[in-house]
Amino acid sequence: MRLVVVGGVAAGTKAASRARRVDPGMEITVYQEEPEPSISECGLPYLLSGVVRRRDQLVARTPEKFAEQGIEVKVRHRVEGIHPNTKTLTVRDTTTGDAFEDRYDRLVVATGARAVLPSIPGSDLDGIFPIRFLTDTDRIMAYVEDRSPQRALVVGGGYIGLEVAENLCRMGMKVSLVEGEDRVALAYGPEVSRRVAAELEANGVDIFTGERVEGFVGDGRVRTVSFGGTECEAELVILGVGIRPNVELAQDAGAEVGTTGALRVDRRMRTAIPDVWAAGDCVETTNLVGGRPDWAPLGDTANQMGRVAGTNAASPAGEDTLEFPGVLGTGIFKAFDLGVGKTGLSEEEAADAGFETVSADVEARDRAGYYPGAGKVFLKLIADAKTGRLLGAEAAGSGADKLIDVCATALWGRLSYPDLVDIDLAYSPPYGPALSPVIQAATILSGKFDRAREGVRVTE
């Protein structure tokens, strides 16, 4: 039995490793276009500034390590065609330029996602980079080494743009950030967006929202960026405007693309093509809160999907029954000293999904008030106005990661706000206030629902 995995980052390598464990006798090959497999892409912004000190720390496992496990990883190989009728593949060795045929019994597609490159005049100037692969950071770092840019501009105010802005500041550059929408961190409510913007500005980042970059100007390499009638000097530009799933290879072979634009798979991670599974950033899944298709291109989710795809792809026919249930839309990022996370739906996303919502927020401490070093954290809970079911949470500040993980677990268990009023969380002065911010916010929600029962309309 021969398993081929297309793509060797998180989902692909996880699928290969799981398959090896399920079936020790399976022949397994992973094709990876980039020169290294198993890259921790989430670490890339931190490599720029030296927070992550060495490049090789972001290569979780080398091809040699995979070989020890009986997994052949062929880097600089691009799969250009999947032929389900003959169960063959067309593969190109990008070093030699030669193409060849390979065969598979089982196939896992883990083609990931690519950076969106906006079509802005001047985009081909030197000094303008996306940041998606380790090779992108190689290019950025070589450019910085060579040109010592003093002013940088980041396009896009999402996770990546915000993380990159922080790390460029750490490198000593004067950083501007341009976001087309009216606020940064758009997946969050306005309270969190305001806090993120304030944190960036306090650290010297100039933020321009509601502005679209109209052009890059320079003499071979970029010198200024124009938007909103102004010209902003910048010798380095990082494009963080988003990513798009790589679906074309599987789609051409007969896999379906869903409403999110990513590959459609069932809970077993099967595509519509027999013996072909898919996992990671190239597939869509279900948002378990809203019950609708969702695209969640994140490293942890890719790992979890890869585990399911790899297990099933290595199981005997008919026994490929492991399921991946879906996601909540949980995410977190750091903006300088501010931890910012969410799970479930924002109020805007909940409204889109047809919910009527009630929310409550608190500004709490991350430990007992009298215990030294207490930091502040903002938490917002969003509940279904009809049923009281928790729909989402957002947090910003010290210990936001803990609060979001608690709320994610509550969403996973489909808990409602009254469950969170009495929940038995861990309290000791160094670790939280006597009542967790989750309990505090749930208690406020509870008061709103009580008033609603008395005939006061609670929807805000």
Q: Is 291 helix (H, G, I), strand (E, B) or coil?
A: coil
User: Interface with a second copy includes 353 (CB under 8 A)?
Assistant: no
**Phi, psi at 50, each rounded to 5°:** 85, 5
Spatial contact of 294 and 260, defined as CB atoms under 8 Å apart: yes
Q: Which of 191, 268, 388, 412 binds a second copy (CB under 8 A)?
A: 412
User: Interface with a second copy includes 62 (CB under 8 A)?
Assistant: no
User: Interface with a second copy includes 419 (CB under 8 A)?
Assistant: yes
Exposure string (b/e) for 372-381, b if CB count within 10 Å is 16 or more?
Answer: eebeebbbbb
If the CB atoms of residues 91 and 269 are measured against a second copy, the closer one turns out to be: 269
**Alpha carbon of 312 to those of 18, 27, 421: distances in Å?**
9, 15, 40
Q: Which of 324, 355, 378, 417 binds a second copy (CB under 8 A)?
A: 324
User: Which candidate, 255, 250, 269, places its Cα nearest to that of 308?
Assistant: 269
Encoded tokens for 163: 């993380």
Pick the stretch among 70-78, 101-109, 167-175, 303-311 that binds a second copy (CB under 8 A): 303-311
User: Interface with a second copy includes 49 (CB under 8 A)?
Assistant: no
Between CA 292 and CA 259 the distance in angstroms is 10
User: Interface with a second copy includes 42 (CB under 8 A)?
Assistant: yes
User: Interface with a second copy includes 156 (CB under 8 A)?
Assistant: no
User: Interface with a second copy includes 368 (CB under 8 A)?
Assistant: yes
User: Interface with a second copy includes 336 (CB under 8 A)?
Assistant: no
Residues annotated catalytic, as ranges: 42
User: Interface with a second copy includes 434 (CB under 8 A)?
Assistant: yes
Pick the stretch among 128-136, 179-187, 249-257, 297-305 that binds a second copy (CB under 8 A): 297-305
Q: How many CB atoms lie within 10 A of CB 155?
A: 27
If the CB atoms of residues 10 and 445 are measured against a second copy, the closer one turns out to be: 10
The end-to-end CA distance of the chain, in Å, is 58
If the CB atoms of residues 291 and 430 are measured against a second copy, the closer one turns out to be: 430
User: Which candidate, 134, 127, 129, places its Cα nearest to that of 39?
Assistant: 134
Spatial contact of 339 and 192, defined as CB atoms under 8 Å apart: no
Between CA 380 and CA 402 the distance in angstroms is 14
User: Interface with a second copy includes 51 (CB under 8 A)?
Assistant: yes
User: Interface with a second copy includes 408 (CB under 8 A)?
Assistant: yes
Q: Is 82 helix (H, G, I), strand (E, B) or coil?
A: strand
User: Interface with a second copy includes 298 (CB under 8 A)?
Assistant: yes
Spatial contact of 103 and 84, defined as CB atoms under 8 Å apart: no
User: Interface with a second copy includes 379 (CB under 8 A)?
Assistant: no
User: Interface with a second copy includes 372 (CB under 8 A)?
Assistant: yes
The minimum distance between CB 155 and a second copy, in angstroms, equals 21
User: Interface with a second copy includes 61 (CB under 8 A)?
Assistant: no
The minimum distance between CB 329 and a second copy, in angstroms, equals 7
| Beta-ladder partners of 43 | none
Encoded tokens for 290: 């809203």
Between CA 399 and CA 380 the distance in angstroms is 14
Q: Which of 84, 217, 405, 444 binds a second copy (CB under 8 A)?
A: 405
Where on the chain is the footprint of a second copy (CB under 8 A)? 10, 40, 42-43, 46, 51-53, 57-58, 288, 296, 298-301, 303-304, 307-308, 324-325, 327-334, 339, 341, 343, 368-372, 401-402, 404-406, 408-410, 412-415, 419, 421-432, 434-436, 439, 443
